[in-house]
Structure 1
Amino acid sequence: MKKVAEQGKAAPAAQPVGQAASQPASPSSVASTPARAGSAVAPSKADRRASDISDAIVPCHTRQEFAQEIRYHWNRSRKEFLSIGRYLNRAKDILPHGEFEAMIESDMPFSVETAFRFRAVAEAVDTGRLSLEVLPGAESVAYQIVTMTPDELERAKAQGLIRPDVTRRQLIDFKRSLRPPKDVTPTDRRRQLLAEYSRLRARMAEIRDELRRDHGIDPEQDGDGRTGGLGRGLSRGGVTIDVEAEDVGPEDGNG
């Protein structure tokens, strides 16, 4: 009887339903608690655990599941570089003269040029010049949009280029198409001709290999087996083929 009484005495009292329990804060509540202003707080275990969970690869088996996860991380990447740009703009306004530049050069994992792109994109979104719905997923692509003139931006919209999945190459090609052609110097022209000559020479070699392999024709040989047979006739088994007559159309054939 004594042992039973002691056990009953040691048992904790039942907690009424709805009464707040004195328990440690849950990971979600810890992660959502804002840090004090001006204090540098190291990431807690809950923060790191939440980050690990968000970065974990979710098992996917269908097209819809893969598309859903990819869209989630795509949108997340847009929000991340946009937040970086906003923090940079605030730091530029708040930090004393010289500290912002020193922070970029010493404390940031990216270059001054990248920081400038982050800031420009964030400013364009916050001022309404660029809508978040059409913001590309990379700051380098979005930067190509925010650096357009108002006229270029309107033309790009008309051509359907202001969209989240536009590529940097598409935007650069669009900008180049609007610029007047610059004067070509003799050096530039020579470089263009040499590049074109090299390309055509490689293509000619491919064509010759295909003719020799699949058709038994060597365009570099004339009817007597000598080199230099790039004239009108190509020899194949003692038969001369007129290259100029190969593609005779119906109208020419009636003549």
Structure 2
Amino acid sequence: MSRRLKLDHAPEPVLVEGDARVLALEALRNEPQAAEDYVATINHLWRQAQGTFLEIGKLLIRAKDTLAHGEYTEAVEARLPFSGRTAYQLREAARWAMEMDRLQTISLNQLPGAYSTIYLLSTLDRSSLERAKHDGLIRPDLRRAELVAWRQKRMGKPVRTRADLEARREKLRRDRERLDTELREIEEALAEIVD
């Protein structure tokens, strides 16, 4: 006589890793509650994004180096979700970051989180880069605007505020209106001479 276990209902399914329910429970458990939790989570994700940007840059470098001439631009770059200019900056930022890390000049964990800021650092000459390091600019929280302002100040160019730029735009608009009026007057005078 076989002994069978009788159940009133089916057993609960076992939750496996990757199951949507498991992921939902993990998300609830890790949900930020306080301001510092949000900051810590966002900082963690931002560091991951930096790594992702560098990996994208490495893949772009490899694709450009290994694909036949012209194939990279037509088959890869043209189908990316960002511009060719962005692809270029990602490649150059990754190339520079890998070189700095290899030479042990600047480690990857010292670099800013944004590829555009890393790219801008990559455009500095050796002495400017040393000066930037001396001035404490080589750090993960460096913002592009801060680097641009530092670079303008170092090069002797005045740092323009948004108000300065808006005033300049307004002056250029007025100049254009004045020149448009002068051009109309010249065209009218020429029309009178021709007639």
The TM tier, using the shorter chain, reads 0.5 to 0.7
Q: Tell me what 2:154 maps to.
A: 178
Percent of matched pairs sharing the same residue: 32
Per the alignment, in what secondary structure is the counterpart of residue 140 of structure 2? coil
Which of the residues 44, 63, 72 maps onto 1:91?
63
Gaps of 5+ in 1: 9-25, 29-45, 183-190, 196-255
Q: Tell me what 1:157 maps to.
A: 133
Shift of 1:123: 0.8
Q: Tell me what 1:65 maps to.
A: 37
The answer to whether the Cα contact below 8 Å between 1:78 and 1:138 also exists between their aligned partners in 2 is: yes
Larger Rg: 1
User: Against the structure 1 CA distance between its residues 67 and 116, is the aligned structure 2 distance closer, same or farther, given a 3 Å change threshold?
Assistant: same
Kindly provide the CA deviation profile for residues 60-102 of structure 1, in whole angstroms up to 9, marking residues without a partner as x: 2234422321221011111110110010111111111111111
Q: Tell me what 1:143 maps to.
A: 119
Matched, 1:122 2:94: yes
The answer to whether the Cα contact below 8 Å between 1:136 and 1:165 also exists between their aligned partners in 2 is: yes
Q: Greater helix share, 1 or 2? A: 2
Q: Tell me what 2:84 maps to.
A: 112
Shift of 1:111: 0.7
The answer to whether the Cα contact below 8 Å between 2:93 and 2:116 also exists between their aligned partners in 1 is: no
Gaps of 5+ in 2: 5-15, 159-166, 172-195
Shift of 1:27: 5.3
CA distance in structure 1 between the partners assigned to 2:50 and 2:114 by the alignment: 7
Q: CA RMSD in A?
A: 2.9
User: Against the structure 1 CA distance between its residues 181 and 164, is the aligned structure 2 distance closer, same or farther, given a 3 Å change threshold?
Assistant: closer
After TM superposition, the structure 1 = structure 2 runs for residues 1-255 of structure 1, keeping only pairs within 5 Å, are 4-5=1-2, 58-128=30-100, 130-180=106-156
The answer to whether the Cα contact below 8 Å between 1:104 and 1:112 also exists between their aligned partners in 2 is: no
The answer to whether the Cα contact below 8 Å between 1:104 and 1:111 also exists between their aligned partners in 2 is: no
